[in-house]
Amino acid sequence: MIERLDADYLIIGTGAMSMAFADVILAHDESARIVMVDKRPAPGGHWTDAYPFVRLHQPALFYGLHSTCLGSGGADLASGPEIVAYFDRAMQRFVATGRVRFLPMCEYRGEGQVVSLIDPEQSYEVTAHRRVVDGSYLEASVPSMRPPAFDVASDVELCPPNRLPRIRSAHDEYVIVGAGKTGIDAVLFLLENAVPPDRITWITPNDSWLWDRATVPAGGALSTFRVMLERVLKEQDPQAAFLQLERDGIVLRLDPRRLPTKWRCATIERSEAEQLRRVQNVVRLGRVRKVHEGRVELDNGEIDIATDALIVDCSANGLTSRPVRPIFAEGAVTLQSVLMCQQTFSAALLARLELVSMSDTRRNALLKPVPHPEAAEDIATTLPLSIRNMLSVTRVLPRWLRGSRLYLGHHEPLPTYVAEAARMGVALARSRPVTAGA
């Protein structure tokens, strides 16, 4: 059976960015009708697949929907289950307006065609009179969503971090594969549950610069961004900028003997860093190629492990850097970040700009995509471009920006807000133009 639907917006995906976009459209255009499609049975995107002990990296005050607070305020880091419930309640509110149709367990095939994944006879033809909004372009990947990226012998016990809370028997060794935030969380989970550090092996292909969470609070984050911008613009070498930011107390590294090559906005507390440093068996031999019983092959060598070792695959890349696309095009929006590592704020801001009467050419000139940073040198483009975006759009949406709880500047006293913005503007005016991507 084919059901024909009319809408103003067809939104692909119901992850955090899609939900943030829809939230602003509904609030600021009382006539807008939306169809939202997702392969999953519930909204929330990768949060519905994440490990149960995951938490936000940043204060919940900066995350979620423009209209609805998340968490208990202050420095609260909402948990994964809290976030899933938050988006589920939001979708219920959306649908209750009578202006949103949610099509779960469905796949978008293009040209307005939507097909049920569980009923082959059910499909939809959606006419989107304004835009098709691609909220899946930056979809995050978590370990439970895909098989490991390396070979695993049949006699090896391997699991995603989702299974760690369900362990019921001890292992002689726990091998964590992955150096990102998921790997950090897995190591901390084991340590917090009384696993001795000498029974943990941590395979880390790369070292990363880490953000000290204390320096990006609600009310104070703007000055941190300004200092970071000044350091990045002053130093020709991004690594020199990071070393200065380390002296400023803004970033840190787990091993002071090594110069990290990665920067992906991972945020931790210094007390967590101290716990992580208790693990001494850190393997830096590149990526894993194959795991055998008692042995791991890597790019640059191999290591012996216990024959009953539990391999915990934390190697999914989470948010990745995708090629930039024009955000606004005829009949289409491709959701992308416009402020470094602030995805839900970016989507909400794009929705608000969508409702301002102007050409797509001007919209795309005001807000340029900011790829998710991967390497340390990426900060030299992603941070200045982020600040340029914010200063540009402030001329068009000053009240909305100041009033959005998702925006870092919202939580600053007005004099501080104005002064920090002015100082960042001066720093950018004295620097050379910066672009990221095509």
pLDDT the model gives residue 74 = 72
- Span(s) in the chain for CATH 3.40.50.720: 2-141+320-424
> Looking up tokens 């970071």, which residue turns up?
228
Select 143-207+253-313's CATH number: 3.40.50.1820, 3.10.20.30, 3.50.50.60, 3.30.450.40. Answer: 3.50.50.60
Neighbours of 331 (CB within 10 A): 12
Find the helix packing angle between 238-248 and 379-394, rounded to 10°. 70
How high is the pLDDT of residue 141?
66
The set of residues, in sequence order, having a beta carbon less than 8 Å from that of 240 and lying 6+ positions away, is: none
- Tens digits of residue pLDDT in 234-268: 998 999 999 999 999 999 999 999 999 999 999 99
pLDDT single digits (tens) 95-140: 999 999 999 999 999 999 999 999 989 999 999 999 999 999 887 7
What does DSSP say about strands 295-298 and 301-304: parallel, antiparallel, or unpaired? antiparallel
Q: What is the largest CA-CA distance in the chain?
A: 65
Scan for tokens 């200063």, then name that residue: 391
* Calpha distance 2→112 (Å, rounded): 12
Pairwise CA distance, residues 4 & 39, whole Å: 19
CATH 3.40.50.300 fits 2-141+320-424, yes or no: no
Give the H or E element holding residue 288: strand 288-292
Q: How far apart are the first and last CA of the chain?
A: 43
- DSSP, collapsed to helix, strand or coil, labels residue 59 as coil
The pLDDT assigned to 434 comes to 55
Q: Is residue 52 classed exposed, middle or buried when 0-12, 13-18 and 19+ CB atoms within 10 A define those classes?
A: middle
d(Cα 225, Cα 245) in Å, to the nearest integer?
Answer: 11
pLDDT at 438 (0 to 100): 41
What is the DSSP-derived secondary structure letter of residue 32?
-
pLDDT at residue number 75? 76
Closest by CA to 232, choosing from 380, 433, 428, 381, is 380
Q: Using CA atoms, how far apart are residues 424 and 387, in angstroms rounded to an integer?
A: 7
Q: Taking the CB of residue 198, how many other CB atoms lie within 10 A of it?
A: 11
Q: How many residues does the chain have?
A: 438
Q: Which amino acid is at 84?
A: V
β-sheet bridge partners, residue 419: none
User: Residue 251 and residue 179: Cα distance in Å, rounded?
Assistant: 17
| Residue-by-residue pLDDT tens, the chain, 438 positions | 899 999 999 999 999 999 999 999 999 999 999 999 999 999 999 999 999 999 998 889 889 999 999 988 777 899 999 999 999 999 999 999 999 999 999 999 999 999 999 998 999 999 999 999 999 988 776 666 678 889 999 999 999 999 999 999 999 999 999 999 999 999 999 999 999 999 999 999 999 999 999 998 888 899 999 999 999 999 989 999 999 999 999 999 999 999 999 999 999 999 999 999 999 999 999 999 999 999 999 999 999 999 999 999 998 776 666 788 999 999 999 999 999 999 999 999 999 999 999 999 999 999 999 999 999 999 999 999 999 999 999 999 999 999 999 999 999 999 999 999 999 999 999 886 655 544
Q: Could you tell me which of 85, 190, 189, 182 has the C-alpha nearest to residue 142? A: 182
Tokens read off for 360: 């797509």
CATH 3.50.50.60 residue spans of the chain: 143-207+253-313
pTM: 0.94
